[in-house]
Amino acid sequence: MKTITARRICQVFFLLLFLWFCAVSVLGARWWQLRGWPVNWFLQLDPLIGLSTLLTTGKIYAGLAWGLLTLTLTVVFGRVFCGWICPFGSLHQFIGYLARRKNSVARNLEANRFRPAQNVKYYVLIFLLTIAAVEFVVRIFTLPRTSPLTSGVVAIVLFLVLAVRRAGLTSPKKWAAGILGAGLAWVMLGFIFRGSSPYSASLQVGLLDPIALLHRSINLIALPLLDKTALKLSVAERHYDGSWLVGAIFVSALLLNLFVPRFYCRFICPLGAFLGLLSRNSLWRIGKRSTDCADCQLCRKHCEGACSPTAEIRLAECVMCINCIDDCRHGVMTYQHNPSAAGEIAAPDMTRRGLVTTLIGGALTAPVLGVSDFTGVNWNPALVRPPGSLAEDEFLSRCIKCGQCMRICPTNVLHPAGFEGGLEGLWTPKLNFRIGTSGCQHTCIACGNLCPTAAIRPITLDERMGRNQHAVAGPLKIGTAFIDRGRCLPWAMGRPCIVCQENCPVSPKAITTREVYEPVGPNRSLAVKFAGPAFIEFETDVLEPDRFATGDYYCRVGSDSGPVMRKIIRNSARFIEIDASQAFETTPAGGSRVDILIRLQQPYVNPQHCIGCGICEHECPVRGLRAIRVSAENESRSKAHRLLVTTILDAESGPA
């Protein structure tokens, strides 16, 4: 079998596998549903995600260790991940192939020539890693203060390394002065930054990382479109607030292949850049076996990486598509240990100016973003996060915006945020209770158990519901419901309702009601003309026929023994008939005053029991701006957003 056949089979296999993982991300135990399928495997294989989260959190979470496999493969074989595995790359390659298969050789050569703009992706990578490394770097600055022993050891090691490399090259005095100056500067930095980083790191690698981007695009655009057809995977239609931008970027990225093949891979992809940097010392590399080359340029005809295989090959750009070896008719192109006989450029062509600009830009970006303090005093209460989410700054340090949580959520309540949580919150998950089938089910723990980076913790059902060992902490809260008394039907409009109270799923219920009787119509009592034990007739046609017979209306006759509410069961224009079991003991005399009232149950939220699940908001009949709305006050993940002071034992229930 030819190698490129094997490569094509691999690409098709991994693309289909990726699509399969996306398709089975539906809760259930059948083989076409989630079961135990490792649906995050591609995200875990991605070493850029592992490295970025290591920089922002100081840890490599669980399955992200798979990135080591990709790292090893790249260091040994080159960018085989890009050419053989990456599903996004395969899509680009396929579209580029479709667009170009009828083109002449000359046009293909032009399309696959190296463009200096291909260096942009390295700047993108450096920028993303810099903003992720802010806290880590500051921690190094402050090492002399926080850990003098460690910094002393590091200093000695550096000193020895420098001594070995620079011995005899510069004057010893200047050299000693330089070392001393650097050491002093380091110590001073420790005093300026005082031991802990005042600036938060920012994890934005998910915006452009190809695997995260592809998951997000498929979860938020492709699958919802499929769900509207007979081929649907989700039982109900799925909608995602704010996903248009995701779709626009996805479609644009694919369509750009019509201009330049593998556009995204060559110019934008930070993972490709990272693997490119790693492959500079790969054990095997593409190259010419000898200078005996006719310079026919055929190797460049289908070169996917635009790495100039016939000239000095740019190793960092080579995606190991092997098309050059297949196209070379003279057996010159090969895969070997030695560098190419025509020479090779191992590292990308970054200028020092470009590098420094990117580093400074990155170093400033995270602190500048932090001035708005979206994770602190300027927090947005409309941003309700999934249950099990970490506190906001830690959450943003882990969320790669892959949309897996949004896909697995059975009630379609998780949505990609816009900029309501700051720029850094773009496409992170938030709850929109108006969309979906029923708020956030209080017996569901799917999102956290799927999140590949533990931005949402993998909680247990006991922790979610506050049972057994979590009984003292109580159930997990994501917010609190607030009743808008200006919009609620029984509060503002004199109409009975309480749909919210009925749907409240917790026990004891977080919504209670109080019974009130409100007078109906103009605030004047009606004069009795004639009354019997169970009816009253009025002077004139004062009433709307049948209006008061719904079972919610009562009449009250003021009397010395105190007013009693009697249910109206029938009425015409001037009669009301009362429930026989509540007949008058003393029939009202002609001329006495009667009030008609409506019985209302007015809802109240008990913040001690409310978990913020939002089923009430989802069901509220006031469909536009709901009369009961959940916001993030009292969410468990943030002490600063706590609403209640009490931990006093309630008579009915346990501790708060």
Partner 1 sequence: MNPEADKGQIKRRQFLTRLAKAAGIILAGGGVTVVFHDRKGPMREAPDLTDIRLPDFSVAHQGPKMAVSRGAERKATLGLALKAIGGIEAFIKPGDRVLLKVNAAFASPPLLSATTHPDLVSELSRLCLGAGAQSVWVTDNPINDPQSCFTLTGIAEAARTAGATVVVPQAQHFKSYSLPNGRLIKNWPLLYAPLKKIDKIIGAAPVKDHHRSGASLTMKNWYGLLGGRRNIFHQDIHNIIKELAMMVQPTLVVLDGTSAMMKNGPTGGALSDLKPTETMIVGTDQVAVDAFGATLIGRTPGELTYISKAAAEGVGTADWRSLNPVMTEAG
**444 counts as binding partner 1 under rule CB under 8 A:** yes
Whether the CB-CB separation of 113 and 308 falls below 8 Å is answered with yes
17-46 positions binding partner 1, by CB under 8 A: 27
Measured CA to CA, the distance from residue 9 to residue 198 in angstroms comes to 50
> Considering only residues 146, 357, 380, 437, which one is a binding residue for partner 1 as defined by CB under 8 A?
437
570-609 positions binding partner 1, by CB under 8 A: 579-581, 601
**441 counts as binding partner 1 under rule CB under 8 A:** yes
> Considering only residues 450, 489, 526, 555, which one is a binding residue for partner 1 as defined by CB under 8 A?
489
Q: Which is nearer to partner 1, 381 or 655 (CB)?
A: 655
Measured CA to CA, the distance from residue 64 to residue 53 in angstroms comes to 9
**533 counts as binding partner 1 under rule CB under 8 A:** no
| Binding region for partner 1 (CB under 8 A) out of 253-261, 366-374, 536-544, 546-554 | 546-554
Measured CA to CA, the distance from residue 135 to residue 58 in angstroms comes to 10
Please give the structure tokens belonging to residue 509: 């219920």
Q: Which is nearer to partner 1, 58 or 533 (CB)?
A: 533
Q: Which is nearer to partner 1, 550 or 586 (CB)?
A: 550
24: helix, coil or strand? Answer: coil
Whether the CB-CB separation of 567 and 554 falls below 8 Å is answered with yes
Element (H, E) at 498: none
Measured CA to CA, the distance from residue 537 to residue 529 in angstroms comes to 6
Q: Which is nearer to partner 1, 470 or 529 (CB)?
A: 470
Measured CA to CA, the distance from residue 483 to residue 114 in angstroms comes to 62
**410 counts as binding partner 1 under rule CB under 8 A:** yes
**567 counts as binding partner 1 under rule CB under 8 A:** yes
Report CA Rg, the chain: 34
> Considering only residues 284, 346, 619, 655, which one is a binding residue for partner 1 as defined by CB under 8 A?
619
DSSP 302: T
Q: Which is nearer to partner 1, 504 or 576 (CB)?
A: 504
Measured CA to CA, the distance from residue 466 to residue 136 in angstroms comes to 36
> Considering only residues 508, 533, 545, 558, which one is a binding residue for partner 1 as defined by CB under 8 A?
508
Distances (CA, A) of 439 to 72, 447, 512: 44, 14, 19
Please give the structure tokens belonging to residue 155: 């200093």
> Considering only residues 229, 443, 523, 561, which one is a binding residue for partner 1 as defined by CB under 8 A?
443
> Considering only residues 22, 211, 615, 616, which one is a binding residue for partner 1 as defined by CB under 8 A?
615
Q: Cβ 461 to partner 1, closest distance in Å?
A: 12
**236 counts as binding partner 1 under rule CB under 8 A:** yes
Q: Cβ 392 to partner 1, closest distance in Å?
A: 28
Distances (CA, A) of 102 to 97, 105, 106: 9, 9, 12
Applying CB under 8 A, the site for partner 1 has a residue count of: 41
Distances (CA, A) of 427 to 133, 378, 406, 430: 21, 19, 10, 9
Note the residues at the interface with partner 1 (CB under 8 A): 27, 235-237, 410-411, 436-438, 441, 443-444, 489, 495-499, 501-509, 513, 550-552, 567, 569, 579-581, 601, 615, 619, 621, 623
